[in-house]
Structure 1
Amino acid sequence: MRLRPRSLRSRIVLIAGLLATSAVLLCQLAGLTVLRGWLTDQVDDRLSHFKPPDRLYEDFAGNRTPRPQPSDAALPSDYRVYFYDEDGRLLRTSLGSGNNPGPRLPQRTADLRLPTGRPTTLAAEDGPSGSGWRAIALTGPGDMRAVVALPLDTVDGATTKLLWLSLGLGAAVAVGVVTLGNAAVRLGLRPLTRVEHTAQRITDGAVELNVPVTDPDTEVGRLGTALNTMLDRLRAALHRTETSEARLRHFMADAGHELRTPLTAIQGFAELLLDEPDMPGRRRREAHALIAHNAGRMSRLVDDLFLLAKLGDTPMSHREPVDLLSLAAETIATAAIRHPHRAITLEPLATHSAGPERDLDVIETPGDPHQLAQVLGNLLSNACIHTPADSSIHVRIGAARTPTGKGLGNGRSLPPGTPVSVIEVADNGPGIKPDEALKVFDRFYRATPLEPSADNLVAGREPGSGLGLAIAAAIATAHGGRLELDNHPDDGCTFRLLLPESTTAPKDDTDEAHHDRDHP
C-alpha cells in the first residue's frame, strides 16, 4: 500500500502539520516538566520544615500508643507520620488523618531506602492506581526513626490536566494547520499549478503557448522564465528544421527540373540517331553536337551542385595570400574574350573626398585564389548576361572598414570597424525588380531583368542555372566574408564582396563613404 502523498501540495501540508504539532507538544511537555518540578519542590519545602516533637517519640517508645491530643492540636490532614522503634520495627500506629492509603513502607528500618533528611518519592499502598507520596526520613531520640510523608495527588492532578490540555491543543493545532495550511498552500502554489496546466497543454500539442510568469523573482517565476526560454529555442529549432526541409524539397525539385531538361534532350537525340540509322551526315553531326552540348550543360550543373555541397559541409583548407588586383585583371581579361563588345573597367574603390583621383593599390587577403576568381567570374558573367550590350561594367578594388554599405547581404556578419578587402562589380543597367532582389542569392533562382539582355539574344546563349550567385555567396561565407547587393532599379546594381583580414589598411577613413547609398 502506498503511504506517501502523491502531490507536492499534500506533502507540504503534511510536513507543516507534523512540524507545528510537534512544536506545540514539545512546548507543552517542557511546561509540564517545569510545573511538576515546581510543585514537587513546594511539597519538599513543606516536608523539610516539618519535624515531629520529641515527646511523640517518647510516647511511642513507652507504651507504643500516643497520648490523646486535643482536637485543636491535631496534625494537618495531608501529613502522615510513621515511627520505627529502637529495634527497627514499624509501628502500626501513625499520625495524620485522611482516608487515602498511605505510602508503602517496609516493616523494618534495614529495608527502608530513604536517605536521612532528603525527600524521596514512594509508591502508594494501593499500587500503581493511586497517587504517589513524597517522604522524608528523620532521626529521633535513641535509635528511633520517623518518616514524614505528603501525598502527590495535587501534583498529579495538575500535571494530568495540563497533559490533557496539551494533547487537545496539539490535536486542534494539527487540524487547524491541515485545514488552513491546505488553503494557504493551494493559494501559494497557484502559479505552479498554472505552469503545470500550461505544460500539459504544450505536451498535448499547443507548442505556441508560453508558461505564464507573474513574478520573475520567485522560484516559480524563474522556472517559468527558464521554460519559456527553452520553448523559444525549441520552436526556433523546429522552425529551422521545417524551413530546412522545405528548402531541401524545393532544391531537389529545382535540381530535378534543371537536370531533366538536358537529359530529355540527350535522350531524344539519342533515340533519333537509333531510329534513323540512314540519317544524313549533316543532321547526324548536329544531333551529336546537341547531345554533347546538353551533356556539358548537365556536367556543369552537377559540378556546381557538388561545389555548393562541398562549400557548405567542408571548411576551406587551402589558404594563401591572394593579390586581388592581379586576380581582377585576369578575370576581366577572360570576360573580355567572351564578351568582346562589353566595356569593362578596373578602378580603385571610390571616395567622396576631394582631390585627385587615387591610384589602384595592391590589395592582398588570405584565401583560395581559384575560388575567389570563380566569385569574380560569376559576378562579371552575371552582369554581362543580365544587362544590355551598351551598359558599362566597373570593377573596383580597395580596402575599407565595415560597415561598407546598406544593401542586401548573404554571409557572415562582420563587426563594425573590421578591416576588409572589397571587390565591387557595378553596372548601369536596368537593375533588378525590388521583390526579386531579396531572392537573388537563392539556389536555382533566376531574376527577371527589368529590360531583356540584347547580349544574350545576339550570342544565342541560354539562361544560366541560377547557381552562380549562390556559389559566390557560399565561397564568400567560406572565406569568413559576405556578398552584398546594392540594387537601384533603372540605375543598375552593385555586387560587393567583403573579405576580412586585409593586409592593406585604407588610406582614408572616407573610403567607405562611397558605399553609403541607400537601398530602395
Structure 2
Amino acid sequence: MFRRPVAPRSLRGRLVLGVTVLATVAVLASELAGFFVLRSWLLDRVDQQLAAFQPRPPAFSDARRPDGPPPVAGAGALPSDFRVYFYNASGQRLDYVLGSDDTPGPRLPGTEEELGLTEGRPETVEAESGDGNWRVLLRTGPQGMGAVVALPLDTVDGATSKLLWMDALLLAVTVAALLALARGVVRLGLLPLTRMERAAGAITAGRLDLRLPDTDPGTEIGRLGKVLNTMLDRLQRALQERQASESRLRQFVADAGHELRTPLTAIQGFAQLALRADRRSEGERREADRLVAQNAERMGLLVDDLQLLATLDREPAYQRESVDLLSLAADAVSNAALQRPGHPVTLEPLGDAPGRDDAPELDVVEALGDPHRLRQIVENLLSNARTHTPPGTPIHVRV
C-alpha cells in the first residue's frame, strides 16, 4: 500500500525543506539552461562548418564512374572528420564515400526521398552502429546529383556529457551546503520565537509577571509578541481582580458572622426581658421593642449584603445621609449594657473627663454617612472593648 511521505512537523523543518527545495530548483534550472545554451552553441559551430564546406565538382564525377571499385579518399582528402555521401540524379545512393571510413558513419537511407532532408538545413541522425550521432546537410551537385555532408557529434556529446556530470556533482554539493546553511539561517531567524517559547514556558510555570522579550513593531514576531503581552496583561489583571474579589468575599463572610452575632445577642437579650414583662414599665417595653426591630433590620441588611455579594460579586453600595450620632451611640450603649452586664458602659460628651461633676450635657451631633454602617462600626468597637478587657472594666463612649 502506497504511503504519502511524512513532511516535517516543526516550523524549522518546513522552512529548511522549503528553502532547500527552492534553491535546488533554481540551481537545477540554471544548470539546465547552461547545458542547453552550450549544446546549442556547439551545434551552431558544427552547422557553420557544414555550411562552409562544398564538395568540388570532380568529386561528383568520381562518384558516377561505373568502372573500378569506388575510390576512398586519403587521410588528407577532407578537412577534419567530414564524410560526403552521394546520390545520383534518380535519387539512389551511390557507394562512393568521400572521407575517412575508420568509424561507423551516419545511418542514411538508400534513396534521397527517404532521406527527408531540406537543402541548406542541417539535421541530426544516428550512427550506423553504436550510440553516436551525426550532423548532416544536403547539398545539390551538377546534373541533378545530391551530396550529404556529415560531421560526427562525438565532441559535442562528450562535452555536454562531462557538463552533465559536473552539474550533477555541483548540484549534490549545493544541496548539502544549502541544507547546512539553511539550518543555521533558519535557526538564527527563529531565535526570537525560541525566546518567546521559553518565556511562555516560564509564564505557564507560574511567573505571571514575566513578558515576552521581542516586541519590535517592525517585525512580524515583534508584533505577535506585543499582542501576546497585551493579552497577558489583561489576563493578569483579570486574575488579580478575581483574587481580590475572592478575598473580599472571604473577608465579608467573616465580618458578617461577627456582625450577625451582635444583633442576635441583642435580640436574644430583649426576648428574655420580654418574658419578665411584669417587672418592666411601658416605656422600657417600647424601647426594648424598638431595639429588637432595629437589630432585626440590621440582620436583614447583612443578609441582603451577602446575597448581593454572592450574585453580583461586588462590594455593597453605601448610603450618604444625615445621621444622629448621639442616638446611634445611645442605641449601641443600650445593646452593650444588655449583652455584657459585667462591663459598665457610659455615654458621655466628647469633652467630658471621668470623675468630673460639672460635665457638659449631651448634645445632638449629626454627620453625613450610612447609619447602618456607622452603627456596625460603633458596636464592633464596643464588642472589641468588652472582649479584650478584663471583667468590670468600665467603657466610656463619648460623642
Whole-angstrom CA distance in 2 between matches of 1:251 and 1:43: 103
- Matched position secondary structure for 1:222: helix
Q: 1:297 aligns with which of 291, 295, 298?
A: 295
- Quote the residue 2:49 is aligned against: 46
Change (3 A) 1:302 1:250: same
Q: 1:383 to 1:23 in 2, by over 3 A?
A: farther
**Is the Cα–Cα contact under 8 Å of residues 86 and 144 in structure 1 kept in the other structure?**
yes
Q: Secondary structure at the match of 1:155?
A: helix
Aligned to 1:264: 265
Residue matched to 1:112: 115
Q: In structure 2, what is the Cα distance between the partners aligned to 1:89 and 1:305?
A: 125
User: Partner residue of 1:56?
Assistant: 59
Once the two structures are superposed, residues 483-505 of structure 1 have per-residue CA deviations (whole angstroms, 9 ceiling, x without a partner) of xxxxxxxxxxxxxxxxxxxxxxx
Secondary structure at the aligned position of 1:103 is classed as coil
> How far does residue 130 in structure 1 lie from its aligned partner after superposition?
1.6
1 or 2, which has the higher helix percentage? Answer: 2
Q: Which residue of 2 aligns with 1:507?
A: none
Which of 76, 81, 99 in structure 2 is aligned with 1:78? Answer: 81
Within 5 Å, which residues of 2 pair with 1:337-486? 375-378=320-323, 381=324, 458=362, 465-466=372-373
Task: Kindly indicate whether residue 4 of structure 2 is the aligned counterpart of residue 97 of structure 1.
Answer: no
Which residue in 2 is equivalent to 1:217? 218
Q: What are the ranges of 5 or more consecutive residues in structure 1 without an aligned counterpart?
A: 314-370, 387-450, 471-520
Which segment is superposed worse, 54-63 or 147-156? 54-63
Deviation at 1:220, TM superposition (A): 2.3
Q: Using structure 2 for the length normalisation, give the TM-score.
A: 0.73
Counterpart pick for 1:8 among 11, 18, 37: 11
- Secondary structure at the counterpart of residue 52 of structure 1: coil
- Percent identical residues: 46
In our comparison, the structure showing a higher alpha carbon Rg is 2
Taking a change above 3 Å as real, the CA distance of residues 254 and 67 of structure 1, as seen in their structure-2 partners, is closer
Q: Secondary structure at the match of 1:157?
A: helix
Q: Where does residue 232 of structure 2 map in the other structure?
A: 231
| Counterpart residue type for residue 190 of structure 1 | L
- Which letter maps to 1:183? G
Helix, strand or coil at the partner of 2:136: strand
1:212 partner SS: coil
Tell me the amino acid that sits aligned with residue 130 of structure 1: D
Question: Does residue 138 of structure 1 match 2:139?
Answer: yes
Residues 468, 286 of structure 1: CA spacing in aligned structure 2 closer, same or farther, 3 A cutoff? closer
Alignment partner, residue 385 of structure 2: none
Q: Cα RMSD between the aligned structures?
A: 3.9
Q: 1:222 to 1:48 in 2, by over 3 A?
A: same
Cα displacement (A) at 1:259: 2.7
CA contact (8 A) 2:137 2:148 kept: yes
Correspondence 1:181 to 2:167: no
Matched letter for residue 280 of structure 1? D
CA contact (8 A) 1:43 1:150 kept: yes
> Does the alignment pair 1:148 with 2:93?
no
1:280 to 254, 278, 281: 278
2-structure distance, mates of 1:64, 1:292:
159
Q: Deviations over 1:2-50 (max 9, x none)?
A: 6111211111111111111111111111111111111111111111111
| Runs of at least 5 residues in structure 2 that lack an aligned partner in the other structure | 330-348, 353-358, 378-399
C-alpha spacing 1:465/1:98, structure 2 compared with 1 (3 Å) = farther
**Relative to 1, partners in 2 of residues 1:173 and 1:64: Cα closer, same or farther, differing over 3 Å?**
farther
- Distance of aligned partners of 1:290 and 1:219 in 2 relative to their CA distance in 1, 3 Å threshold: same
Asked if structure 1 preserves the Cα contact closer than 8 Å seen for 2:82 and 2:149, the reply is yes
Q: Which amino acid aligns with 2:293?
A: A
1:152–1:286 Cα change, 3 Å: same
Counterparts in 2 of 1:280 and 1:98: CA distance versus 1, 3 Å: farther
TM-score (norm 1): 0.57
1:134 is matched by which residue type in structure 2?
A: R
Corresponding residue of 2:205: 204
The answer to whether the Cα contact below 8 Å between 1:84 and 1:146 also exists between their aligned partners in 2 is yes
Paired residues of 1:120 and 1:134 also in contact (CA < 8 A): yes
Distance in 2 (CA, whole Å) between partners of 1:90 and 1:468 is 134
Quick one: distance in 2 between partners of 1:452 and 1:178?
A: 90
Secondary structure, aligned partner of 2:86: strand
* In structure 1, C-alpha distance between the alignment counterparts of 2:325 and 2:126, rounded to whole Å: 117
Aligned residues: 339
Q: CA deviation at 1:469?
A: 12
Partner deviation per Cα, 1:339-363 (whole Å, 9 max, x = no partner): xxxxxxxxxxxxxxxxxxxxxxxxx
Q: CA deviation at 1:263?
A: 2.3
Query: In 1, are the aligned partners of 2:259 and 2:376 still within 8 Å (CA)?
Result: no
